Structure 1
Amino acid sequence: MLLTFVEVPGVYVDFTSRTLQVFDHVECYVTQWDQDSVHLEMYNPTSYSTVVTLLADERTNTRSVTHNYFGNMKMVPLSAGERIQIELQK
């Protein structure tokens, strides 16, 4: 029932504290922090393709994550064993 209202992102980035949290079965590393973006390296170590959701947030901005925030998340397809570089905007 909870998932009808809330979707946990696969990767969460908080620009206020410069925190990266990974909730999916992927590996993700920050390669560069900028003022308005973060550069990530993502790797899918599994034998299966996946689509990872990414959410960039600022802890101090209480209006960015509301009930319908799923549309604000970026969807990134990753094939099995694939490694990519991606830039996530604030």
Structure 2
Amino acid sequence: MQTKTFNQTETDRIIEMAWEDRTPFEAINFQFNLKEQETIELMRRELKPQSFKRWRKRVQGRSTKHLMLRSETMNRFKCDRQRQISANKISKR
């Protein structure tokens, strides 16, 4: 499999999206053309070993990370109370 290359901003955004509970792998695939397995490989490569283990334990079997497993009432990628994210920084209100 060929490794895709991303700049630091894109890599940071992929990692951020992967950590978010409500952002499914399909959203990462849509935005960055990374399949779930490629996202896992990127996380393994970019995170510290313990951080990667913590992330894998968190997302494994989580229904919100897969569109097909989600309930029909969940139609957002983020919590409605979450602040808007722009340029990888949380904007002030």
Question: Which is helix-richer, 1 or 2?
Answer: 2
TM-score normalized with structure 1 length: 0.24
Q: TM-score, normalised by structure 2?
A: 0.23
